[in-house]
A = this chain, B = another copy of it.
Amino acid sequence: MTGPCVAQHINHVAIAVKDIAAALAMYRDLFGVGAGAQAVDIADQKVRAVLVRIGGSQVEFIQPTDPNSGVARFIEKRGEGVHHICFEVESLADRLQALKAKGVELIDEKPRHGLSGQIAFLHPRSTGGVLIELVDQDTARR
């Protein structure tokens, strides 16, 4: 039985940046976080990304690796800044169907593999202008 979608935790806040090494250096210098964090390429999303732990949550930096990627267009249009927020939920596949039944526009109809685990994005048209990622909490990387 599918219960309501309940956001259990803020897994991360993602920030689009032009230079992930520069962003990591700045956060280490100013906020003392991210020592040893290693960025990885996510080829299908045309980005490099890294998760930086801050207490019980994380900041994710994402850098476009292709000028035609969504993140590159985001930076071109709005400048560097917050790109999305990721909530942990139980039973993501069921939750997506429940959200769709409420009329939420899904970017991903089914969970897919992402840097943070099994994830899916909701369209900001349905979520007050904020791009929301959901990650299945059983798979969530923290």
Contacts and interface: CB of A to CB of B under 8 A. Distances in A.
A99 B30 contact: yes
Given A57-B10, A57-B57, A85-B13, A129 B80 contact: yes
Interface of A: 4-10, 13, 15, 17, 22-23, 26, 29-33, 54-59, 78-82, 85, 87-88, 99, 102, 104, 124, 127-130
Given A8-B54, A55-B88, 19 more contacts: A5-B30, A5-B31, A6-B33, A7-B55, A8-B55, A9-B55, A10-B55, A10-B59, A13-B13, A22-B128, A30-B102, A31-B87, A56-B56, A56-B57, A59-B85, A78-B78, A80-B128, A81-B82, A82-B130
